[in-house]
């Protein structure tokens, strides 16, 4: 946007603001793709999904529910962003977690 003050009645100003918003969102999605493109980045994302209890109920029956729902909301927002940016990398994360689970199960059976 130029040095002149933003005017919401000016179609040029509105169009420029929309383009800037789109550009910002595209950068955000590219950043998410970058993080999720490595195994370490996927582990980071998964860790925060667990910390935020994104796949758990937040209801406690008391005021703690509000806190829990705030945490969960962040996790769900992160998940939505990942699914918008790179759903195939989220699937890769799930496959990696499943392989890790199978490995742990095999270790338990062997008794190691």
Over the stretch 7-46, which tens digit does the pLDDT of each residue have? Answer: 888 888 888 888 888 899 999 999 999 999 999 999 999 9
pTM for this structure?
Answer: 0.77
Q: Which domain holds residue 86?
A: 11-110
The answer to the question of residue 70 being in a domain is: yes
So what's the pLDDT on residue 32? 98
The answer to the question of residue 101 being in a domain is: yes
Cα–Cα distance, 84 to 106 (Å, whole number): 34
Alpha helix positions (H), the chain: 11-36, 39-51, 64-85, 87-110
The answer to the question of residue 3 being in a domain is: no
Cα–Cα distance, 108 to 83 (Å, whole number): 33
Residue 112 pLDDT class (50, 70, 90 cuts): low
Terminus-to-terminus CA distance in the chain, angstroms? 63
Total number of domains constituting the chain: 1
- pLDDT: is 64 or 21 the higher one? 64
The answer to the question of residue 4 being in a domain is: no
């Amino acid at each position: 946007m130029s040095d002149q003050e933003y005017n919401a009645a000016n179609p040029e100003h509105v169009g420029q603001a929309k383009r800037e918003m789109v550009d910002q969102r595209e950068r955000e999605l590219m950043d998410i793709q970058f993080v999720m493109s490595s195994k370490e980045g996927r582990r980071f994302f998964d860790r925060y999904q667990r910390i935020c209890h994104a796949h758990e109920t937040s209801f406690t029956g008391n005021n703690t529910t509000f806190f829990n729902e705030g945490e969960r909301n962040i996790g769900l927002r992160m998940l939505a962003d990942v699914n918008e940016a790179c759903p195939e990398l989220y699937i890769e994360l799930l496959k990696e977690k499943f392989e890790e689970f199978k490995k742990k199960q095999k270790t338990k059976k062997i008794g190691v």
